Structure 1
Amino acid sequence: MTTKFFDRLSNDLTQLLEDPIDYNVSIEVGKAPNNQIFKTHSYILQSRSPYFKKKFNETPFNDNHVKLLKLPNISVKIFNVIIKYIYGGIISLEKLENSFIFDLLIYSEELELDELVKHLQPFLVNNNSSWLRLNFARIYQTSYQIKNLEIIQDFCNGIIAKHPNTIFESEKFLSLPEDTLISIIKRDDLQLEEGKIWEYVVQWGKAKNPTLPANLDGWTSDNFLTLKKTLKKCFPHIRYFNFSNEDVLEKLFPYQQILEPKLWLDINTKIMAPNKPISSKALPPRKILTKTLPTRNTLSPLSSHIITDEHALEISSWIDKKEIPYTENNPYKFELLVKGSRDGFDIKTIYNICDKISNTVIVLKVEGTGEILGGYNPLEWEKTSQWKTTQDIFPFPLKTAKTSQWKTTQDCFAFSLKTANLKNSILSRVKIFNYAMYYDQEIFQFGHTLVLKDNIKADKSCFCMRNSDYTYKKPIRSDEFLSKAYFLPNITFSVEEYEVFKVSQ
């Protein structure tokens, strides 16, 4: 029987890092004045990292029998996590920002920490996919520059397959590495007609050979041979037998010289005699979705001083109840209706301006904390609500001297949006549909999870309730900011700014 005492071993090695007895490597990390010296041991580092093993072979000892290394491009904070992993084999990601984890992944790959690279990629994809989508441009560009990020690359290619214009119509397309292009065009779920894929591939091949004549009529046999050699590895992934007849004539025929004669014959055979057997390999057709994917709304840019385009994409995904958030294609237009600093902060103002308007999103920035709270209301606002006593439908009494009414819907939700202080956005959908929205001339509520009251800037009377699970699925603020009862002054907050948008397609 073999017993493994890994916990004690990890702890002892971590202590050795904190008290570096007999260290023989000094690593200067970061750039002055924020640099820091780490005293380490060559045997541990080179046994854990091929990168350090190479560096140590190239670096002589100084007079004090210490090797001096410099890592100016890595932050001290990131290297501190890495070096503790190298010594103790332990890493905790729960309290780290997503951007920090992604940078940690990049530098782990640079230092050839394969185990950590393999751990961080699925962690990001499985736990922080929303952040990856909202930062798609940066993530994708980095992933194809670093070859060992296969899981991240596959995640990005899945997005491109559904929204191919994000890469094929971008300025970066012509500079894609060959293996990256192939990883895209080989996908069965790439949402493009085969003729269009062919056009993009040929365009990419021409860009790799800028000396080719612009006019195809002036091409020589050598010109076609040059393009053929460039696209050699792309050819096996084109579904030639799924071209429309028009595309064969208009898109393939001009480039028939770069195709193998037997393949060109088989393509024409399938057009003229579909049932006749062919010898060329015929790939299955791509799995094109029947539902039209949303397109980017470029007519009206987002007019907000609270939320970003990425926030709007996330809210739109929640409206459509998408498990995979939109990335760069927002199917909705956000039309600004009300703004606190422009129109006033009284709840009555919102009712007056938004009367009879449905499908609205309200966002508000909390004074002092920088939180962005809000919610989506699919129902029409009502400036004059029908009288309804609330004591019969509410578990604790409200003021009954005002007209008020609970509204029923299953499509509304409240939220907290990701900011510098909140790692991930929080979505809370309605749980008890009959208590979804509460209308009152001086109060507006998303169930119990978000209550806006009176003058939301001057009166400091807004609050979120701890028992929000009575009407909504989860609270949208941390416990320290939640009220246990309907009104507790020490938990209430005021609003620095708010905006209400009409959401339409």
Structure 2
Amino acid sequence: MSQELFQEVINDLEKLLTTEIGYDVIIYAGENENIKELHAHSNILCTRSQYFNTAFSNEWAEKKDGKFIFKKPNVSPHLFKMILRFIYCGKIDLNKLQGPEVLKLLIVVDELNIQSLISYIQNYLINHRDEYLQQDPIGILEAVYQHESFTDLWNYCLEKVCQDPKMLFNSDKFTSLKSSLLKLLLERDDLELDEIFIWDSLLKWGLAQNPSISKDVTKWNKEDITIMERTLHGFIPLVRFYHISSEDFLDKIYPIKKLLSKDLAKDLVKFYIAPDRKPNIDEIQPPRKSKLIHVVYDSILIERQHFAIIASWIDKKKDLYYNARNIPYNFNLIFRSSRDGNTPAAFHSKCDNKGPTIVIAKVANSEKIVGGYNPFQWNSSNQDMPTIDSFIYLFTDKNDIKTAKVGYSKGDQHSVRNLADYGPGFGSGTDLICWNDGRWLRSSAASYPEINGIPTGFFNVDDYEVFQVI
């Protein structure tokens, strides 16, 4: 019989880092008064980091008195200690770091080529530091843009900016945005901005690159127009002029039409003079369109971002939730108590034999949302069903998705309760059930883990909905 006692090995390696017995690497982290000497072991660094493996194998690391010397002035001693701890024993705690520190740590980890930690830190920023990512979208985008391995974070930031682009375009730092990034954004079909706002922003950006030119376009001379034309040359084709109102075209574009090519200016004038006449133009870009438009979930209790989290729970995604753009399910409303009747008969009439469903209820006189997921189908057989895939959940404040909590069934025979005289029910005890008089009950945590915040005893809900999960 073999046993794998990983924890003992991990503890010993962590102790080796602390005691520094037999170290042959000296790392000077930080600079000036913040510099600190750290000690490590080359064989462990070489095994766990491609950066150190290359350094030792190619012998380009400085060596003095039999010890390898590394100088990392761009990394604080605190962050490098965290990296060493992860290298030695796989442990890391990001919760005490501020958002900028987490991003700095990610950049250093990328330099050291520790792939597993690159992925972990990206997921942590996406799931737990969304507020930070929105505070400085330009700085973060530019930082992430320089690192090819930050794919998950890059895609997430781009989607956030396209979903709420004014947080970037209205930023004080917008005019400092690199041209390559601005072009990339304007190429996006899902950039949720009016074209005239994009045109105004583009002029604002162009003027910031040429501060000697007056912001009053009526004062531009021939040289000013030439300079602005060169500055905006690569951007003009990205503006979808045919989706701007005639008033805005007349007031904001026509006066400086010399910035446009002669053919484009001529075609636009024809188009706005006779808008009902089909333009003789082979390729007119379609209007920008949000990726969120094609599916609208008919809930009066929660928003799309809540459904994204619920979808993540269904797929048991622990590290990286779906976002509002990549939900892999449709949620079809089949029951609403305020519309269909708050009775067990109404519930079973609408919901029985409809396949997997999610139940959503808003607790009266609060912002709490409670509910559960049935991976089977409801019926009136009075027979409970075991599963490890069902769950109950809570949003302590529906306006703050970070308050979400979930608990999966322990797998006992009462995971899902099909009671003809009651509404949806989960767990023996009872963990969560709609009682036969329309009230809800949570008496104890039995089939599911305890979720602090779900009301105990009988409580009322303002409304509850059931969605078929497709």
Cα distance in structure 2, aligned partners of 1:270 and 1:64: 77
Please say if residues 24 and 39 of structure 2, whose CA atoms lie closer than 8 Å, have aligned partners that are also in contact: no
The code of the aligned residue for 1:282 comes to I
Deviation at 1:220, TM superposition (A): 1.0
Structure 1 residue 234: deviation in Å? Answer: 2.4
Q: What is residue 223 of structure 2 aligned with on the other side? A: 222
- The answer to whether residue 98 in structure 2 is matched with residue 97 in structure 1 is no
Displacement of 1:104 in angstroms is: 5.2
CA distance in 1, matches of 2:235, 2:228: 11
Is 1:475 aligned with 2:454? no
Residue pair 2:138, 2:177 contacting (<8 A) in 1 also:
no
Q: Residue 104 and residue 259 in structure 1: after superposition, are their counterparts in 2 closer, same or farther (change >3 A)?
A: same
Q: Greater shift after overlay, 196-205 or 227-236?
A: 227-236
Alpha carbons 2:29, 2:37 under 8 Å: kept: yes
Q: CA deviation at 1:219?
A: 0.3
Shift in Å at residue 188 of structure 1?
0.8
Is residue 135 from structure 1 mapped to residue 137 from structure 2 by the alignment?
Answer: no
Please say if residues 125 and 132 of structure 1, whose CA atoms lie closer than 8 Å, have aligned partners that are also in contact. no
Q: What is the rounded CA distance, in whole Å, between the counterparts of 2:238 and 2:179 in structure 1?
A: 13
- Match of 2:394, SS state, is strand
Cα distance in 2 for partners of 1:98, 1:15 equals: 20
* Unmatched runs of 5 consecutive residues or more in structure 1: 1-6, 293-314, 327-356, 363-374, 379-411, 418-422, 440-444, 452-464, 487-501
Which structure 2 residues correspond to residues 227-238 of structure 1 after superposition, within 5 A? 227-238=228-239
Matched-pair contact (CA < 8 Å) for 1:415–1:428 = no
Q: Does 1:212 align with 2:213?
A: yes
TM-aligned CA deviation for residue 154 of structure 1: 2.4
AA paired with 1:136? L
For 1:349, the equivalent position in structure 2 comes to: none
Match for residue 278 of structure 1 among 272, 276, 281 = 281
Shift of residue 258, structure 1, vs aligned partner:
1.5
> Equivalents in 2 of 1:121, 1:438: separation in Å?
45
TM-score normalised over the length of structure 1 = 0.52
Of residues 113, 126, 129, the one that matches 2:111 is 113
Aligned equivalents of 1:431 and 1:199: distance in 2?
A: 56
Q: Work out whether 1:250 is the aligned partner of 2:258.
A: no
1:182 aligns with 2:183: yes
Q: What are the within-5 Å matches in structure 2 for residues 411-450 of structure 1?
A: 414-415=394-395, 425-427=404-406, 433=423, 447-448=441-442
* Secondary structure of 1:155's aligned partner: helix
- Tell me the residue number matched to 1:264: 265
Provide the C-alpha distance between the structure 2 equivalents of 1:431 and 1:212, rounded to a whole number of angstroms: 70
Contact (CA 8 Å) 1:30, 1:36: kept in 2 or not? no
2: CA distance, partners of 1:319 / 1:47? 37
Output one character per residue of 1:151-188: Cα deviation in whole Å (capped at 9) or x when no partner.
32321221222222222223332232223322322211
Distance 1:105 1:359, change over 3 A: same
**Partners of 1:106 and 1:263 in 2: how far apart?**
45
Deviation string 1:356-414 (CA, Å, 9 cap, x unpaired) is x985326xxxxxxxxxxxx3489xxxxxxxxxxxxxxxxxxxxxxxxxxxxxxxxx963
Aligned-partner Cα distance in 2 for 1:265–1:107: 53
Find the counterpart in structure 2 of residue 299 from structure 1: none
**Aligned residue runs from structure 1 range 307-322, under 5 A:** 321=307
Give the C-alpha shift of residue 209 in structure 1. 1.9
The CA deviation at 1:129 is 3.8
Closer, same or farther: CA 230–318 of 1 in aligned 2, 3 Å: closer
Preserved contact between residue 130 and residue 325 of structure 1 (Cα < 8 Å): no
1:360 counterpart = 2:365: yes
**Which of 62, 67, 70 is residue 69 of structure 2 equivalent to?**
67
Deviation, 1:210, is 1.9
Render the CA deviation track for 1:230-277: whole Å, top value 9, x for unaligned: 223323322233333333222221221221212222333444485453
2:29–2:74 contact (8 Å) kept in structure 1 = yes
Q: Give the Cα separation in 1 of the matches to 2:393 and 2:85.
A: 42
From the superposition, tell whether residues 41 and 163 of structure 1 become closer, same or farther in structure 2 (CA, over 3 Å). Answer: same
Q: CA RMSD in A?
A: 5.5
| 2:412 corresponds to | none
Taking the aligned partners of 1:120 and 1:82, their CA distance within structure 2 comes to 9
Matching residue's letter, 2:281: I
AA paired with 1:475? E
**Deviation per CA, 1:84-126, whole angstroms, max 9, x where unpaired?**
666x7x8466x7539589845533423643754x655655666
Deviation at 1:211, TM superposition (A): 1.7
Distance in 2 between residues matched to 1:476 and 1:31, nearest whole Å: 49
**Take 1:255 and 1:134, find their aligned partners in 2: how far apart are those partners?**
39
Given that residues 447 and 468 in structure 1 are in contact (C-alpha distance below 8 angstroms), is that contact kept between their aligned partners in structure 2? no
Moved more, 176-185 or 28-37: 28-37
Aligned-pair distance for 1:191? Answer: 1.5
Distance in 1, matches of 2:440 and 2:74, equals 50
SS at match of 2:168: helix
For residues 48-105 of structure 1, the C-alpha deviation after alignment (integer angstroms, 9 at most, x for no partner) is 2289959x999865567653525474353x424534666x7x8466x75395898455
After superposition, the C-alpha distances for 1:444-496 in whole angstroms (9 at most, x for unaligned) are x9743xx7xxxxxxxxxxxxx43263xxxx5325xxx99xx99xxxxxxxxxx
Q: Distance in 1 between matches of 2:293 and 2:51?
A: 48
- How many pairs were matched up? 344
Change (3 A) 1:196 1:415: closer
Q: Which residue of 1 aligns with 2:289?
A: 287
Question: Structure 2: which 5+ runs fail to align?
Answer: 1-5, 295-300, 310-321, 325-361, 372-391, 409-414, 418-422, 426-431, 463-470
For residues 191 and 132 of structure 2, the distance between their equivalents in structure 1, rounded to whole angstroms, comes to: 21
- What is the CA–CA distance in structure 2 between the aligned matches of 1:39 and 1:240, rounded to whole Å? 60
| CA-CA distance at 1:134 after TM superposition | 3.4
SS at match of 2:280: coil
- Is the 8 Å Cα contact of residues 24 and 40 (structure 1) preserved in structure 2? yes
- Which has the larger displacement, 162-171 or 266-275? 266-275
Contact 2:99/2:132 (CA < 8 Å) preserved in 1? no
